[in-house]
Structure 1
Amino acid sequence: MLVVVLLVVVVVVALLGGVHWYVWRRLVRDTTARGGVARRVGTAAAWVLPLLTVGALVSGRAGAPFWLERVLAWPGYLWLAVLLYLTLGLVVGEGVRPLLRRVLERRASGVTGGNSPTPPLPETGGQAPQAPEPAAAAAGFAAAPAAHLADAASAGLADPAAAGFAAAPGTAVLDAHPADPAAAVRDTHPADPAPVRAELVDLAAQAPADPVAPGAHADPADPVAPGAQADPADPVAPDAHADPVGTAAAAVSDAAPDPGADVAGPSAALSRRLFVARVVGGSAAAVALGTVGYGTYGVLRGPRVKRVTVPLGKLPRAAHGFRIAVVSDIHLGPILGRAHTQRIVDTINATSPDLVAVVGDLVDGSVADLGAAAEPLAQLRARHGAFFVTGNHEYFSGAEEWVDHVRELGLRPLRNERVEIAGFDLAGVNDVAGESEGDGPDFGKALGDRDRARASVLLAHQPVVIHDAVTQGVDLQLSGHTHGGQLWPGNYLAALANPTVAGLERYGDTQLYVTRGAGAWGPPVRVGATSDITVVQLASRQA
């Protein structure tokens, strides 16, 4: 047995360690800079929070002072709930990550790639647009009014056409010798450099066919014009011995990236990965915190009243409409205390029940620590009184002491015994957890010698004893224990261990009703399983 316990402990510790490592990796390592403050804080939290959770879980059974239990309980248990939904959110995010990266990559390729739409052609009245003169296209300059010829002459350029710049009739070149041909080309076509390179290549091929100025000797090294002598007054000629067309083309080639390439390369991919990690991690954290916050509010607000009508074939007409307020799993402890008990008592009294049934798991602690928190139970009011049966948590907290204490508060414990109520028998059995102490359920003692012609209602904490109830001919069993799963998707796990998780179901001639409970164990959080107090109204088929 000890080996099994140790094996379970090792598996649980390994599972918690693996989950925390995964959360740290996705939420801290992937979203923060190495050595940064955020990385250090996140790493510290990844160590401290699970230690608080372990402390909250074991402090009570280890005999720690109650004040220490309260200190550890809030952060430790709340982190357990946050961890659950944070992990679920990050796991869902694993499917979102590649989709989001793909979207970002497509957007990036649309911006830097060659798929940008071609600008519309100018209106030409049905005629094909005229191509620009080769020389003017090579320099990338728009023609200006004729008045700019004077500017060209004042700059020392006697014949703009001789310099390789052709102008349309009645126009002149704006600037024959720009200081930075590459900048001029970039400024002229900043949006799409590809057409400029194509035109420059065409011009380079056409350059030998350009006319040579009369009387000049062609010199291929002359940067001014083919066959023209360098003019000392020309500010470009003395130092520029390369073709300005080639120089501009080279500048464009160096300055503009390949349209099909990723302009930022690895840094852009890294930036996208960081963006995706932060979006997914931040979304998971926001959803987890919001879910836990709302679930905590639901518990601290107090249970809601639920009403259920249960017809019983043997119930006499005189007992038709008998109302039983069923409350279970209050779980007084280091988090839920006297105020929680008072809210429950006030809610029950407001329903004016005929009978109150407290079906186990009242406390998570000793009478010394929680006796005062349970005192409001003395205020319960019902025509036929209030009854109590033990749950499994009473056997973790001193069942004998609690049975005596609730009796002092005015509740009647049913310990494998039965009482006759007007029109039916009310029986109660100890919880199955008491078997380890020789105090388990005894159905023969509670139900064996009764008159089966009378309707019977059984109080039993755990739904799993329903088959014993069927054997004893019980008409209705009232139970709790499951919390309705408490934290989704815990309801699926609860269904594996219990015949009914919540609500009313029939097993043979016996009906079973399971309440979700009025409190919470561990994290004071409920998600998908609202806490309730159920008013069960018995209905006679003879009415």
Structure 2
Amino acid sequence: MAVALTITGLAHYYLWIRLVRDLGLSPPWHRALTAVFVALYLSLPASLVLGRNAQGGLAEVAVWGAFIWMGLLLIFFVVLLGADLVRGAWTLAASALDVEAPRDPERRRVLARLFAASVTLIAGGLGLLAVRSGLAGAALKEVRVRLSRLPAALHGLTIVQLTDIHVGPTIRREFVEDIVRRTNALSPDIVAITGDLVDGSVEELREHVAPLAELRATHGVYFVTGNHEYYSGAEEWIAELERLGIRVLRNERGSIGNGSATFDLPGVDDYEVRPLAPGPALARGPRGGGRGRRACS
């Protein structure tokens, strides 16, 4: 946490230098914008506290605002850094060519303000596009995969992969219900939830994840952990998902199909957080049994 706060603090300081201090604003504007940057910085740790207890109202609005600013902060930082690198390269080139930079303080101030306005317009526009994309709901992308050794009886098998849903302060039950409805409408053979499902504990988010119990797939619903599960209590979430009827693959593989028309579906824990240690089930073959959910007719 301390490292994250330090990094975001430095990013805010960099933005403040380029968008406030360097503009030569009048004292009232300088103080007001400085206060805004301080408030924006403090909103990030505050959102972590509010996010655990936000149940609507102003608290949830504040959390949404902080998360949107977190994204905008990254966009502003990247745009500003890119512009400064270009400006630095131009300064070096001008120096090499003996091109004299403007010395008039007023002209330099005007150029600084034009620079800040341009960066704000570009970053703000990109931010609006990002917010619009985020509010549009989960994207659906169809990918056809050809497997030469897949049994003929399994040709046309469909897998719906759900990934990086991040149920938490801003992704709630309604969003999950929409994903479940859209997934079931596809009548998949397999549903694979590939990690980073949650950003919070089971106690905080159980109600919002509960709709996943309604997922339907012919050969079952499967889950593998992502790094965010380990930040949120992986063992508790694994138990909760299994309670919902979802089979969790932990360095093992399950068998899909019947008789000779089968294939293995392997699943491994997030390698960056939990070093991979393949067990016998992953090394030799699929584990028998399991809690794969079957579609109700």
TM-score, normalised by the number of residues in structure 2: 0.77
The equivalent residue for 1:296 is 131
Alpha-carbon distance between aligned partners in 1 of 2:31 and 2:89, rounded to the nearest angstrom? 28
Alpha-carbon distance between aligned partners in 2 of 1:80 and 1:350, rounded to the nearest angstrom? 34
Does the C-alpha gap of structure 1 residues 41 and 405 become closer, same or farther in structure 2, counting only changes over 3 Å? same
Alpha-carbon distance between aligned partners in 1 of 2:251 and 2:74, rounded to the nearest angstrom? 39
Q: For each residue in 1:228-259, what CA deviation from the matched residue of structure 2 results, as whole angstroms up to 9, or x when unmatched?
A: xxxxxxxxxxxxxxxxxxxxxxxxxxxxxxxx
Q: 1:380 corresponds to which letter in structure 2? A: L
The equivalent residue for 1:31 is 23
SS at match of 1:388: strand
Report % sequence identity: 39
1:237-248 mapped onto 2 (5 Å cutoff)? none
Is 1:285–2:277 an aligned residue pair? no
| Structure 1 residue 93 displacement after superposition | 4.0
Q: 2:41 corresponds to which letter in structure 1? A: P
Is 1:327–2:162 an aligned residue pair? yes
Is 1:407–2:231 an aligned residue pair? no
| Structure 1 residue 48 displacement after superposition | 1.9
Alpha-carbon distance between aligned partners in 2 of 1:442 and 1:357, rounded to the nearest angstrom? 21
Alpha-carbon distance between aligned partners in 2 of 1:96 and 1:432, rounded to the nearest angstrom? 40
The equivalent residue for 1:81 is 71
Alpha-carbon distance between aligned partners in 1 of 2:247 and 2:124, rounded to the nearest angstrom? 42
1:69-468 mapped onto 2 (5 Å cutoff)? 70=60, 73-94=63-84, 95=86, 269-422=104-257, 423-432=262-271, 435=274, 441-450=276-285
Contact kept, 8 Å, 2:201 with 2:233, in 1: the verdict is yes
Residues 356-365 or 405-414, more deviating:
405-414
Alpha-carbon distance between aligned partners in 1 of 2:273 and 2:12, rounded to the nearest angstrom? 35
The equivalent residue for 1:50 is 41
| Structure 1 residue 433 displacement after superposition | 5.7
Contact kept, 8 Å, 1:49 with 1:75, in 2: the verdict is no
Alpha-carbon distance between aligned partners in 1 of 2:251 and 2:284, rounded to the nearest angstrom? 13
RMSD, aligned α-carbons:
3.0
SS at match of 1:30: helix
Alpha-carbon distance between aligned partners in 2 of 1:395 and 1:341, rounded to the nearest angstrom? 20
Alpha-carbon distance between aligned partners in 2 of 1:329 and 1:305, rounded to the nearest angstrom? 13
Alpha-carbon distance between aligned partners in 2 of 1:88 and 1:396, rounded to the nearest angstrom? 27
Contact kept, 8 Å, 2:52 with 2:169, in 1: the verdict is no
SS at match of 1:420: strand
> Could you tell me which of 31, 40, 58 is aligned with 1:40?
31
| Structure 1 residue 98 displacement after superposition | 11
Q: 2:16 corresponds to which letter in structure 1? A: W
Does the C-alpha gap of structure 1 residues 398 and 98 become closer, same or farther in structure 2, counting only changes over 3 Å? closer
Q: 1:391 corresponds to which letter in structure 2? A: G
SS at match of 2:129: helix
Q: 2:264 corresponds to which letter in structure 1? A: D
Alpha-carbon distance between aligned partners in 1 of 2:123 and 2:157, rounded to the nearest angstrom? 43
Alpha-carbon distance between aligned partners in 2 of 1:96 and 1:292, rounded to the nearest angstrom? 23
Give the gaps of 5 or more residues in structure 2.
91-102, 287-297
How many aligned positions are there? 266
Is 1:21–2:21 an aligned residue pair? no
Contact kept, 8 Å, 2:252 with 2:279, in 1: the verdict is no
Q: For each residue in 1:314-352, what CA deviation from the matched residue of structure 2 results, as whole angstroms up to 9, or x when unmatched?
A: 211111121111111111011111122123223322322
| Structure 1 residue 13 displacement after superposition | 5.7
Relative to total residues, which structure has the larger helix share, 1 or 2?
Answer: 2
Alpha-carbon distance between aligned partners in 2 of 1:19 and 1:419, rounded to the nearest angstrom? 46
Q: For each residue in 1:395-425, what CA deviation from the matched residue of structure 2 results, as whole angstroms up to 9, or x when unmatched?
A: 2212222222222323222233333211212
Contact kept, 8 Å, 1:53 with 1:75, in 2: the verdict is no
Is 1:67–2:57 an aligned residue pair? no
Larger C-alpha radius of gyration, 1 or 2? 1
The equivalent residue for 1:134 is none
Does the C-alpha gap of structure 1 residues 98 and 406 become closer, same or farther in structure 2, counting only changes over 3 Å? closer
SS at match of 2:167: coil
Does the C-alpha gap of structure 1 residues 96 and 45 become closer, same or farther in structure 2, counting only changes over 3 Å? same
Does the C-alpha gap of structure 1 residues 352 and 76 become closer, same or farther in structure 2, counting only changes over 3 Å? same
Alpha-carbon distance between aligned partners in 1 of 2:222 and 2:37, rounded to the nearest angstrom? 45
| Structure 1 residue 55 displacement after superposition | 3.8
| Structure 1 residue 28 displacement after superposition | 1.5
Alpha-carbon distance between aligned partners in 1 of 2:87 and 2:52, rounded to the nearest angstrom? 46
Does the C-alpha gap of structure 1 residues 431 and 14 become closer, same or farther in structure 2, counting only changes over 3 Å? closer
Does the C-alpha gap of structure 1 residues 400 and 70 become closer, same or farther in structure 2, counting only changes over 3 Å? farther
Q: 1:426 corresponds to which letter in structure 2? A: L
